[in-house]
């Protein structure tokens, strides 16, 4: 490069940088200095840096532009997302082989059997509701992506393992596959089922319970109503940061029928009263999130109230282990515990650091004894 060309290059670069720099400096006008800032220890500098980073004018543009390039050129989003056909999005947890997955499956199955043994000792029936993967129900939209061998075999092997241990686990895949011919049972842009899919699962589980266990109390009528139909941007769209600059590239939003279930008679369905509730629900966001109304559908088909101990963002193991140690289980034991357990979590390690490792080891040992007892039977 000649000297004159270098000079021109630097001048053009500074000229391009100047508007951005002025915009960035203008963002400091909205900065609120913390009270009594500490200059010497860097607190003030960190505060300004954080504000500058959040308000940097090209930050959102850069994020949107890079996401658009990945999406248009390679059909990819951020790590965690698999982009299928026809606007369908999937979690990569349903595709990828899990490191040391077989060992984790054995550990989790031991915990599941240990939970059953703990409940059995309290004369409580465990009903395992294994939620099929979205890829299993809608493989026609996955495009060129294919689940690993471990993922493909997960649902039948999960059922086989728990049935061998004597744990009741009704098949939900067949009823959901039958229902999908008439209605959408999983959301296109979300990892979860639709309220229609949740209702199919609730009806199937309720039929099993009512045929096997005479539930306490008098039957109670519950009514489910559609309160609104709205656009729903699924949780998987977070891995596709195209908005607001390239919002038109986003898959179209799902249409969600928001349902609510309430007791037909005024004063019924109070979960915080002193009534004897025969069924408890434990699980993940499939049960905890009111958008799907899974607990409500269970109430309607069981004709009994259901106490819901499901939690979002914790996986299926943590809420159940917390419930096992709760005063609620000790003081108000139900007849039946429905444990909603998405199949994709079986080979995954849960964050169990808040639990006593000795207690967990004893629970697994109980599970191994349960396995041997079931084999002998």
- How far apart (Å, rounded) are the C-alpha atoms in residues 29 and 95? 47
What is the DSSP-derived secondary structure letter of residue 186? B
> Could you list the pLDDT tens digit for every one of the 377 residues in the chain?
567 776 776 677 667 656 656 655 555 556 566 666 655 556 656 665 665 566 555 566 666 666 666 776 677 778 899 999 999 999 999 999 888 899 999 999 999 999 999 999 999 999 999 999 999 999 999 999 999 999 999 999 999 999 999 999 999 999 999 999 999 999 999 999 999 999 999 999 999 999 999 999 999 999 999 999 999 999 999 988 877 777 778 889 999 999 999 998 865 544 444 468 999 999 999 999 999 999 999 999 999 999 999 999 999 999 999 999 999 999 999 999 999 999 999 999 989 999 999 999 999 998 777 665 555 55
Residue 301, domain member (yes or no): yes
Tell me, yes or no, whether 79 lies in a domain: no
- Cα angle at 228 between 222 and 230, to 5 degrees? 135
Task: Note whether residue 259 is domain-resident.
Answer: yes
Using DSSP's 3-state secondary structure scheme, residue 214 falls into coil
Catalytic residues, by residue number, are: 190, 192, 285
Domain extent, residue 197, equals 90-376
Q: Does 1 map to a domain?
A: no
Q: Is residue 10, in this structure, part of any structural domain at all?
A: no
pTM over 0.85: no
Residue environment code for 42-66, b if the CB has 16+ CB neighbours within 10 A, otherwise e: eeeeebeeebeeebeeeeeeeebee
Q: Which two tokens stand for residue 43?
A: 């607190």
Q: Is residue 163 part of a domain?
A: yes
Q: Note whether 374 and 166 are within 8 A (CB).
A: yes
> In this structure, what are the phi and psi dihedrals at residue 219, rounded to the nearest 5 degrees?
-55, 145
Does residue 8 sit within a domain? no
Token digits of residue 131: 């939620």
Facing residues of 312 across strands? Answer: none
Residue 34 domain-assigned? no
Task: Give the total number of structural domains in the chain.
Answer: 1
Sign, CA torsion 254/177/306/91: negative
| DSSP characters over 240-296 | ---TTTTGGGSPPPEEEEEEEEEESSTT---TTSS----EEEE-SHHHH-TTT-HHH
Of 254, 136, 141, 132, nearest to 194 by C-alpha is 254
């Amino acid at each position: 490069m000649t000297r004159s060309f270098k000079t021109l290059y630097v001048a053009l670069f500074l000229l391009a940088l100047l508007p951005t720099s002025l915009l960035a400096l203008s963002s400091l006008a909205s900065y609120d200095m913390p009270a009594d800032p500490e200059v010497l220890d860097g607190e003030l500098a960190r505060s300004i840096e954080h504000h500058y980073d959040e308000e940097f004018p090209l930050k959102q543009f850069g994020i949107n532009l890079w996401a658009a390039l990945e999406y248009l050129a390679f059909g990819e989003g951020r790590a965690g997302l698999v982009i299928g056909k026809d606007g369908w999005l999937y979690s990569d947890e349903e595709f990828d082989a899990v490191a040391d997955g077989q060992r984790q499956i054995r550990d989790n199955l031991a915990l599941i059997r240990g939970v059953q043994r703990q409940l059995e000792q309290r004369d409580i029936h465990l009903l395992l509701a294994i939620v099929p993967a979205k890829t299993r129900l809608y493989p026609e939209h996955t495009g060129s992506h294919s689940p690993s061998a471990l993922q493909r075999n997960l649902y039948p092997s999960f059922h086989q393992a728990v049935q061998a241990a004597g744990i009741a686990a009704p098949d939900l895949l067949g009823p959901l596959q039958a229902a999908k011919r008439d209605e959408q049972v999983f959301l296109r842009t979300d990892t979860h089922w639709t309220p229609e899919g949740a209702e199919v699962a609730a009806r199937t589980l309720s039929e099993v319970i009512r045929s096997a266990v005479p539930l306490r109390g008098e039957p109670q009528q519950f009514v489910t109503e559609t309160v609104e139909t709205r656009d729903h941007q699924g949780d998987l769209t977070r891995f596709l940061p195209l908005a607001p600059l390239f919002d038109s590239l986003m898959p179209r939003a799902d249409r969600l029928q928001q349902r609510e279930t309430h007791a037909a008679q005024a004063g019924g369905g109070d979960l915080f009263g002193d009534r004897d509730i025969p069924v408890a629900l434990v699980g993940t966001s499939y049960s905890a999130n009111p958008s799907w109304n899974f607990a409500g559908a269970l109430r309607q088909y069981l004709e009994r109230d259901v106490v819901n101990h499901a939690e979002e963002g914790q996986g299926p193991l943590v809420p159940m282990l917390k419930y096992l140690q709760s005063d609620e289980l000790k003081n108000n034991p139900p007849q039946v515990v429905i444990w909603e357990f998405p199949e994709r979590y079986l080979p995954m390690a849960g964050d169990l650091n808040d639990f006593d490792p000795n207690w967990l080891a004893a629970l697994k040992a109980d599970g191994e004894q349960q396995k041997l007892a079931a084999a002998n039977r």
